[in-house]
Amino acid sequence: MRNLTFTLLFTFLVSNFLFAQLEPGSTAPDFTITDLDGNTHNLYNILDEGKPVLLDLFATWCGPCWSFAETGVFDELDEAYGVNGDNSLFTVAVEADPSTSVAEITNSDLGDWTDVIHYTLANDDEIADLYELAYYPTIYLICPDRSVTEVGQLSTAAAYSSQISACPVAIEGLNAGMRSYDGELVTCGDGKIEPIVTIMNMGSEDMTACLIQTIVDGDVINSYNWTGSLSTYGTDQVTLPEIPSNTSNVSFSVVMDGDIQASDDSIDIEIESATESHAYIHVEVDADYYVGETSWNITDAYGDIVFEGSYEFGTEDDFGGGGPDANMIHDHFTELSEGCYTFNVFDSYGDGQLGYSSSGPGTDGSITLTDGDGNELFFVSGNWESEASGYFEVTNGVGIEEVLENSISVFPNPTYNKTSVSLNLIKSSNIIIELVNTLGQKVFVQEYSMIAGRNTVDVSVENLNAGIYYLNVTVDDETITEKLNILK
């Protein structure tokens, strides 16, 4: 969702966001850039020299980016700790907007950026995606152990020096470290997790062998013998033996003869289990003003899309606001087969369904996933950034073969504006569906001709008052009644 005016939106992005897209402490993606002088720089090579990196991602049209460059804070850092100082730090500014040309660095509306940036300066059209850039400027500190943290625009060189001093530093002697867990964090059904970890040499001496332990509930369930050759800050990603599907809390520890520091040897993770679900699925999208930016899909265990939805952009402003799908509720229903699924939601602008009720159109939107039993499987609202995911496993309600007198399914229940009645017939029949309020008044009656097998009927209730109703389904001379709760 976007604000109506670029000025308000831009101010919000550069001033009010307190977080970057990359998680603090996550592993920084590697990159190689060529600066304006033609020199090539590789991030991991610099980090392997023990140098922290200050990465300033800016855009040539960004006023706050220009104002920060004018402070000269990074110039001061570069002079003291860069190649002309003690060569212990690498400071780099990268024009990261792929829509701007490299020529705009010296000829932008704000001025010549080479007049205010005197340290390493480059242009790169891919680094914004690589670092999941959400706004300009974004300033990262990347430590030699490859951990990345968004530090923002600090006012003094001393403030940055304080942040840099907190970087983990390799010590003299042998020191193995458990850097990160890189495997799956969700288990589904009887599927086992194949854990992947990254170990790092955090000592001055080469690391050639260690033991990697998998620990569940305090017990070592597996010990993996690793051999290789890692110099200081060198890393290796290791795939370990599978762990049971019902495991939740797991620790991984590196054990090495002569290791002189134990504080960096272990990492703890928590594995979630996919939520069990009925086969009938309801996706409710409460659209914001910029619904064209929103899309979603459901993928199966193989990553194939089995159900998806997207919406039209409007023409009421330059950002695609409004249109026929904006500011309304969209209901989508499907039936899934037994198995594991992922529900993914996307926002092409990167601020989810954030509303600007005080300065622009609309309020926060939301997306809710529920199943045929009324269980909420997933929910997001407001600023969920560019994407979010939830996991569920269909375990019941699949291919019901009972006669109607044994089962029907009504979903969603409770509902706001529409519900679906699903039934399975052993032979073609005439069906009567009626909705009765608590006074005994019939507020909906409809007859249908249905074939043998699965049949689904949508019943609109958006014009009915909130309350409890009784849904009667009659097949031949048999009637089944389900209670329906209508919310407003």
Cis omega (within 30 of 0) on the bond before 64?
A: no
Residue 318's alpha-carbon distances to 212, 303, 411, 441, in angstroms, are 55, 35, 39, 50
Q: Which stretches in the chain have pLDDT values below 50? A: 1-20, 358-359, 400-406
Query: DSSP letter at 14?
Result: H
End-to-end CA distance of the chain: 25
CATH homologous superfamily of 176-273: Immunoglobulins (2.60.40.10)
Per-residue pLDDT, 346:
93
Q: Could you give the C-alpha distances from 279 to 306, 336, 372, in angstroms and in order?
A: 13, 5, 7
CATH of 277-396, one of 1.20.120, 2.60.40, 3.40.1350, 3.10.450: 2.60.40
Domain ranges of the chain: 6-164, 176-273, 277-396, 404-486
Domain 404-486 matching CATH 2.60.40.2550: the answer reads yes
Do domains 6-164 and 404-486 share one topology? The answer is: no
Nearest to 345, CA basis, from 313, 371, 302, 380: 380
- The predicted structure's pLDDT at residue 2: 43
Q: Given this structure, which CATH class describes domain 6-164?
A: alpha beta
